[in-house]
Amino acid sequence: MSYPTQFRYTKDHEWIDAKGDLATIGITDYAQHELGDVVFVELPAVGAALTTGKTFGSVESVKAVSEIYAPANGRVVEANSDLQNKPETINSDPHGTGWLIKIKLSDPGELNPLMDAMAYEAYIEEKKKEASA
């Protein structure tokens, strides 16, 4: 799967897609692949505050739980309620309908230091090499 060029990426394998001060956040294809079949997602309520670097929810597979870390400061305006009944969407379409939350960014500039698609792809190549070493 290719990594959308308009997204920004974190070291914890989240993607963020900003349009002005509105951003959508999800986990990357690499993350869903590592996790395996998603069975449950825990998301914050609308209105909850996000603090950069702090966890705002989790994604669970049968054998593991992945915390999700806020890539930027903001406030939740929408959580993907479809994931309640169909958490597998994260596996099948992690960059699209498997989005987790939409937030209002405190400062869109905070996204600048995040990796772009090329940097992220290089990053996960490194990770794959480390794992098979």
Interface residue with another protein among 62, 118, 119, 122 (CB under 8 A) is 62
The pair of structure tokens assigned to 90 is 């994260």
The pair of structure tokens assigned to 69 is 């870390």
Q: How far is the CB of 13 from another protein (least distance, A)?
A: 18
State how far the alpha carbon of 94 is from the alpha carbons of 30, 32, 49, 117, 129, in Å. 9, 7, 23, 15, 23
Segment contacting another protein (CB under 8 A): 8-16, 56-64, 72-80, 118-126? Answer: 56-64
By the 8 A CB rule, do 13 and 45 touch?
no
- Between 10 and 89, CB nearer to another protein: 89
Q: How far is the CB of 39 from another protein (least distance, A)?
A: 4
By the 8 A CB rule, do 83 and 7 touch?
no
Angle (nearest 5°) at CA 117 between 113 and 118: 100
Query: Does residue 81 interact with another protein by CB under 8 A?
Result: no
Query: Does residue 34 interact with another protein by CB under 8 A?
Result: no
Q: How far is the CB of 29 from another protein (least distance, A)?
A: 18
Q: Residues interacting with another protein, by CB under 8 A?
A: 37, 39-40, 60-65, 87-88, 131-132
